[in-house]
Amino acid sequence: MSDNHPQLHGEGSILPVQSAGSSTHSVTGGSKIQAAGANGEIQHVIYLAENIGTLYNSADCSDVMLKVEGVVFPAHRVILAARSEYFRALLFNGMRETRDTEVELVDTPVNGFKMLLKYIYTGKLSLSSLKEELVLDILGLAHKYGFSELELSISEYLKAVLNVRNMCTIYDAAHLYSLWSLSDVCLNFADKHASEVLSTQGFLQLSASAVELMIQRDSLCAPEIDIFRAVREWVRQHPQQVEEADMILAKLRLPLMKLDDLLNVVRPSGLLSSDAILDAIKEQQEKKSVELTYRGFLLPDVNVATVAFNASVLTGEGAAALLNGDTNRYDMERGFTTHVINERTPGIVVEFGRPFIINHIRLLLWDRDQRSYNYYIEVSMDKEDWIRVIDHTKYLCRSRQLLFFSPRVVKFVRIVGTHNSVNSSFHLVNMEAMYTTEPFNVDPTTTLLVPITNVATIANNATVIEGVSRSRNALLNGETSNYDWDNGYTCHQLGSGAIVVQLPQPYLIDSMRLLLWDCDDRHYSYYVEVSCDQTSWTRIADRTQEQCRAWQILRFERRPIVFIRIVGTHNSANEVFHCVHFECPAQRASLSPFEGSNSSTSSAPSTSEIVMHGDAADANAQGDPSADQQKWFGSRW
């Protein structure tokens, strides 16, 4: 008898037997069920969700009634407990609610709870079909009853539908429920639409703490008199909150108001004392503009020094090139903005389209040769009073400059060159300004960056300006294993020259790490000096009396550094000092004694390109390349 006959299931329904490769079985009615298949996995989650969903608002198998504002909802204890820790504690705590067949939920809006209960049973909600008030009710219930995933999803939806009309209502809810991500989005929105938001009815309904948090922000960029008028209306709407009103009024920045507004708008309101108004007038008269606490627009990680943001160059020759974003097409004749270096120069002045909060400026100094510059940067709100945020007048700088300082509201930026190592002009190819969210550490006294990562890299525009190598900047390319008898190191003749690295800008540094060539058992002696101007040098490490090999870690008192000079004084094998890798600050505190060793065997020197820096390069220009190869590489072992 054949085993392949049709099999009867239930009341005459027929389910044909499928071949081994089939993934579904046909069932009467046209539905399909996924079979286990060869891996033995069964996924019927959709049916589980559908089956549980049929119990929503159904008395079938119900064992508890939830009473909300007089409306009774049939429910199932085990489903509620499985979905919420709140309901687990409420319904299975051994107290009265465990036994009662009816449990009342207080401070719970009925329409919002109906939607929440539907979500509990089905896992689905269509927020776009609901009114905003109902969505906010559901958000409050999700917070109250511990549905964190629902709370997050509603928050993301509210971020997407945020507008001037509903911002304050959404912000107040976010503030109440400590939804900081949603709250931040609301506040950032208010920053960009401050005047419109302050004039809405929703602002008058905000809690006192929400108002205080909003108006104390530097980035709430609206005329101070507009902020005062909004606060005045809020105080009138909340006459009982006297202490809260005083705290809010204290956040106003009266010195930013015009004298006419202080006397004719603020004073008649009676909200602020005459002494407070007089103090504001005194501060206006006695303080410099740069000392006032301004408000400005905040656009995190966005370059605001662009024509798109209505920025313009007020002074400087070749102004059109500075803000066009082109950092590649420039030469000795075009592609840069310049000014003559003298004591009377106004420098290069850039005006932003609006007052912006910035803490980061990027410059590209003209770098088609090895020239270096000194300069400083000042910022202002009125182009009269300036404050210096970057002072590199004592440091030789080249190429790209990454500059950081404390956040300030800025309308004007002035960049003034004070020295050029080649001629008497300052050349600036590009400028960017922004508020960066990246963490940084700047010394407030020197305005210099204290780096954490290695800044002596090719990517950071560090360069080797003296020393001999087969590959330019081999010392800085980060390669610490691929080196041998012929490649992967930089060297100099003992008693003549050195290996010198120039960083693009000054940094405050307290450590260095270098790898001495170690393909055999030779050892070296050396010392390291640093400088900011390539004239005055300070020795920060002296290992002239030590036998050193492989990895070297140098630690010293933190100091400004632009140039690093490594001078070999002894090699146990020959008369050449070899260094494979250099970094600062040091990236690792401890190393395996075997790290960086290389067991490559000796081979004859190749005739690949030799790159010489400094004096060695000058000598090569005058002599026979073959003779120089012999001098630097042929007899070095």
Confidence band, pLDDT 50/70/90 cuts, at residue 628: very low
Confidence band, pLDDT 50/70/90 cuts, at residue 240: very high
The answer to whether the 44-158 and 307-434 domains have the same CATH topology is no
**463-634: what fold?**
Jelly Rolls (2.60.120)
- Which residues 6+ apart lie within 8 Å of 200 measured at CB? 164, 165, 167, 168
Determine the pLDDT at residue 348: 96
Confidence band, pLDDT 50/70/90 cuts, at residue 621: very low
Determine the pLDDT at residue 593: 41
Give the C-alpha distances (Å, rounded to integers) separating 283 from 147, 173, 291, 379, 388. 51, 38, 10, 20, 21
Mean pLDDT of the chain: 86
Average pLDDT over residues 167-172: 96
Determine the pLDDT at residue 622: 36
CATH code of the domain occupying 307-434 = 2.60.120.260
Confidence band, pLDDT 50/70/90 cuts, at residue 449: very high
Whether the pLDDT of residue 96 is over 80: the answer is no
Indicate the DSSP class of residue 371.
Answer: -
Average pLDDT over residues 168-192: 95
Determine the pLDDT at residue 610: 39
Average pLDDT over residues 603-619: 41
- Which residues 6+ apart lie within 8 Å of 400 measured at CB? 362, 363, 364, 365, 460, 461, 504
For residue 579, the surrounding DSSP H or E stretch is strand 576-583
What is the Cα–Cα distance from 78 to 10, expressed in whole angstroms? 31
More confident site: 81 or 382? 382
Average pLDDT over residues 96-106: 81
Confidence band, pLDDT 50/70/90 cuts, at residue 617: very low
Domain ranges, ordered by start, for the chain = 1-42, 44-158, 307-434, 463-634
Determine the pLDDT at residue 614: 53
pTM (global) more than 0.75: yes
Whether the pLDDT of residue 512 is over 60: the answer is yes
- Rg of the chain on CA atoms, in Å: 36
Paired residues of 65 in beta bridges: 74, 102
Q: What percent of the chain has pLDDT over 90?
A: 70
Confidence band, pLDDT 50/70/90 cuts, at residue 34: low
Whether the pLDDT of residue 599 is over 50: the answer is no
Average pLDDT over residues 522-540: 96
Determine the pLDDT at residue 607: 31
What is the Cα–Cα distance from 503 to 443, expressed in whole angstroms? 18
Whether the pLDDT of residue 99 is over 90: the answer is no
| Token pair of 168 as six digits | 């304050």
Determine the pLDDT at residue 595: 43
| Token pair of 131 as six digits | 């009114």
Domain 44-158 class in CATH:
alpha beta
Q: Are strands 373-380 and 387-397 parallel, antiparallel or unpaired?
A: antiparallel
Determine the pLDDT at residue 22: 45
Which of the residue ranges 91-100, 402-411, 419-428 would you say has the lowest mean pLDDT? 91-100
Average pLDDT over residues 157-176: 96
pLDDT tens readout for residues 282-313: 999 999 988 999 999 999 999 999 999 999 99
Give the C-alpha distances (Å, rounded to integers) separating 24 from 15, 31, 37, 47, 282. 11, 10, 9, 15, 84
Whether the pLDDT of residue 76 is over 60: the answer is yes
For residue 539, the surrounding DSSP H or E stretch is strand 537-548
CB 548 within 8 A of CB 525: yes
Q: What percent of the chain has pLDDT over 70?
A: 86
- Looking from the CA of 637 toward its CB, the CA atoms found within 13 Å total 13
Q: Are strands 524-531 and 537-548 parallel, antiparallel or unpaired?
A: antiparallel
Determine the pLDDT at residue 36: 61
Q: At 390, is the secondary structure helix, strand, or coil?
A: strand
- Which residues 6+ apart lie within 8 Å of 100 measured at CB? 64
Whether the pLDDT of residue 629 is over 80: the answer is no
- Looking from the CA of 106 toward its CB, the CA atoms found within 13 Å total 0
What is the Cα–Cα distance from 635 to 317, expressed in whole angstroms? 53
Whether the pLDDT of residue 327 is over 90: the answer is no
